[in-house]
Amino acid sequence: MIKIVSDSSCDLPDEFIREYGIHMVPLSVEVGGVRYTERVDITAEEFWEKMKQSRSLPKTSQPSPALFAEAFKEVIEEGHEPLCITISSKLSGTYQSAMVGNDLIGKKATIFDSLAGSLSHGIQVLMAARLAAAGKKMKEILEILEKYRESVKIIIPLNTLENIVKGGRLNRVQGTVAKLLNIKVILHGVQGEVKMLKKVRGTKRFREAILEIIDSLNPEPGRIFGITHVDNIEDANYFKEVIEKRFGSEVIVNSMGPTFATYAGPGGLILAL
């Protein structure tokens, strides 16, 4: 049987990880001068608080190849075939670490680049786990993942530009002006990278712009949607209800972990549509 391995940045809720026995390889994050292991000794909510208090942007680090090799060995020793699905290779060196880890064990695992992040990556992990549990073969699972990867829309509405300023992508004067004018930014995922989609002014227009994107969708039956948030469950649930009402689809909502919360900032969302 195929068993799924993923890195911890996928933001998949713990109940799915337990249900399908998904092996999780953790990234690490340094915030306030202290290094933590994602999903091991720091929760998403604990990280948010530390991030708010930090004057500098937290730093995330990819897992070592040895950690991936260890996870693959565990799966093989259990009598299963490992399929590893990672965060986009264009956003992190994690995919490359997994490839090197696979080399260390004689290339006995299959490595798949999600070309995504947060729950757009996590949904691929969940889909693969469900397909594997249903007895599907590797080739069929990979074909379905590739189809999803090509069609998914990744929308990243930023409630504040605070972390973009901390990261040096926007200077403090520009950040202050944006705050005074209540300018909000919507980014999107394009072939595994994050790019600017639009800037809007005001909270009302911000929601309207996101709804316009949702309205443009024509999802196939059974499509899974995902929403992660940084201390913004109100907006996450609002968009969840909209999607459920319009499409009758499964919508997963979860807290955004350190890897992406670092850049999304307080109130930020990532929608996998």
Instruction: Name residue, tokens 């720091």.
Output: 42
- Residue 240: CB atoms within 10 A of its CB come to 19
Instruction: Name residue, tokens 């998949």.
Output: 12
| pLDDT level of residue 3 (50, 70, 90 thresholds) | very high
Tokens matching residue 80? 């299963």
| pLDDT level of residue 161 (50, 70, 90 thresholds) | confident
DSSP, residue by residue, 199-236: EEESHHHHHHHHHHHHHT--PPTT-EEEEEESS-HHHH
Residues forming beta bridges with residue 201, ordered by sequence position: 183
Burial 216-231 (b: 16+ CB within 10 A, else e): eeebeeebbbbbbbbb
| pLDDT level of residue 134 (50, 70, 90 thresholds) | very high
| pLDDT level of residue 164 (50, 70, 90 thresholds) | low
The region, left, alpha or beta by phi > 0 then psi within -120 to 50, assigned to residue 206 is alpha
| pLDDT level of residue 91 (50, 70, 90 thresholds) | very high
187-198 average pLDDT score: 85
Q: Whole-number mean pLDDT of the chain? A: 91
Above pLDDT 90, what percent of the chain?
A: 75
Q: Cα(68)–Cα(39) distance, rounded to whole angstroms? A: 16
Residue 150 neighbours by CB under 8 Å, 6+ apart: none
Is the pTM value of this prediction over 0.85?
yes
Higher pLDDT, 58 or 55: 58
Q: Cα(59)–Cα(231) distance, rounded to whole angstroms? A: 19
The region, left, alpha or beta by phi > 0 then psi within -120 to 50, assigned to residue 32 is left
Query: How high is the pLDDT of residue 170?
Result: 46
109-129 average pLDDT score: 98
Order of strands, edge to edge, in the sheet holding 28-31?
34-37, 28-31, 59-61
Tokens matching residue 189? 């995922």
Is 153 within 8 Å of 217 (Cβ atoms)? yes
Order of strands, edge to edge, in the sheet holding 193-201?
193-201, 183-190, 154-158, 269-272, 224-229, 250-255
96-108 average pLDDT score: 98
Tens digit of each residue's pLDDT (9 = 90 or more) over 60-85: 999 999 999 999 999 999 999 999 99
Query: How high is the pLDDT of residue 263?
Result: 86
| pLDDT level of residue 179 (50, 70, 90 thresholds) | low
Above pLDDT 70, what percent of the chain?
A: 93
Domains of the chain (ranges; CATH) run 2-27+62-151 (3.40.50.10170), 154-272 (3.30.1180.10)
Residues forming beta bridges with residue 112, ordered by sequence position: 85
Burial 90-126 (b: 16+ CB within 10 A, else e): bbbebbebbbebbeebeeebbbbbbbbbbbbbbbbbb
179-199 average pLDDT score: 79
Query: Strands 183-190 and 193-201, how do they pair?
Result: antiparallel
Query: How high is the pLDDT of residue 185?
Result: 84
